[in-house]
């Protein structure tokens, strides 16, 4: 029996080789994935070409485009996320070398076949009750933080006033104690009321004895009367 030529199989004159079901499924998934990736790459190349032309036009006209800024930001975020995922795969000790290479290739291929518009659409949250609740919660959190900041500022100002008042009181007490010590050094005491027309000088101590023989309490040693 003469073996068939390769040209005959290529031209379709011979029946295709029969494959098992799993092989057919794997081949189908591979072909579909390849076509999807190829289509995505073409779409991304077309998008990049259009954005570069738009960038040149904006540069020529001197226009600051927010669309270009958002486009660049989305690309940078996607690249940063890819780098982080690749590092996580490298540090994963449960994967073999072949699995790591396969996962890295899949991630890079997915990024290469996904346009920036699709990324932005995927990250953009659709309007729903949950999104509205998140907005309300964020507003309440901002209001609560503002009230807390105002309260902390008021408490700080209150403590500053209390500290300043205490410093003034301590200063006056220090001045009065210095005056008392100066009076004791010069021998000037507090004048007591006169008895029988003769003024008596009150001595500093626990008690003072007057000429009448009575004992009158006075200020303690080291204290100064303010009366």
What are the pLDDT digits (tens) for 4-49? 554 545 555 555 667 777 877 777 778 877 888 888 888 888 988 9
Tell me how long the chain is. Answer: 227
Split into its structural domains, the chain has a count of: 2
Question: Residue 109 domain-assigned?
Answer: yes
pTM of the model: 0.45
Lowest mean pLDDT among 27-31, 60-64, 91-95, 98-102: 27-31
Please indicate, yes or no, whether residues 157 and 117 belong to a single structural domain of this protein: no
Residue 151 CB coordination number (10 Å): 10
Please indicate, yes or no, whether residues 82 and 177 belong to a single structural domain of this protein: no
Question: Residue 90 domain-assigned?
Answer: yes
Structural domain including 175 reads 153-187
Give me the chain's average pLDDT, please: 77
CA distance 6 to 63: 60
């Amino acid at each position: 029996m003469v073996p068939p030529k390769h040209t005959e199989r290529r031209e379709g004159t011979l029946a295709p080789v029969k494959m098992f079901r799993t092989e057919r499924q794997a081949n189908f998934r591979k072909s579909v994935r390849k076509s999807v990736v190829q289509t995505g790459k073409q779409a991304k190349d077309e998008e990049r070409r259009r954005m570069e032309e738009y960038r040149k036009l904006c540069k020529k006209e001197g226009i600051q485009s927010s669309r270009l800024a958002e486009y660049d930001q989305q690309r940078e975020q996607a690249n940063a996320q890819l780098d982080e995922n690749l590092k996580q795969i490298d540090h994963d000790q449960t994967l073999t070398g072949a699995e790591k290479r396969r996962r890295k290739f899949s991630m890079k291929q997915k990024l290469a076949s996904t346009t920036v518009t699709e990324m932005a659409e995927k990250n953009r949250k659709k309007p729903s009750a949950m999104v509205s609740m998140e907005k309300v919660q964020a507003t309440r959190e901002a209001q609560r933080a503002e009230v807390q900041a105002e309260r902390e500022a008021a408490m700080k100002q209150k403590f500053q006033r209390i500290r300043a008042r205490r410093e003034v009181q301590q200063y006056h007490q220090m001045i009065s104690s210095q005056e008392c010590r100066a009076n004791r050094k010069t021998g000037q005491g507090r004048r007591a009321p006169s008895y029988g027309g003769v003024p008596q000088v009150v001595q500093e101590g626990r008690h003072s004895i007057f000429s009448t023989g009575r004992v009158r309490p006075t200020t303690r040693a080291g204290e100064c009367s303010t009366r």
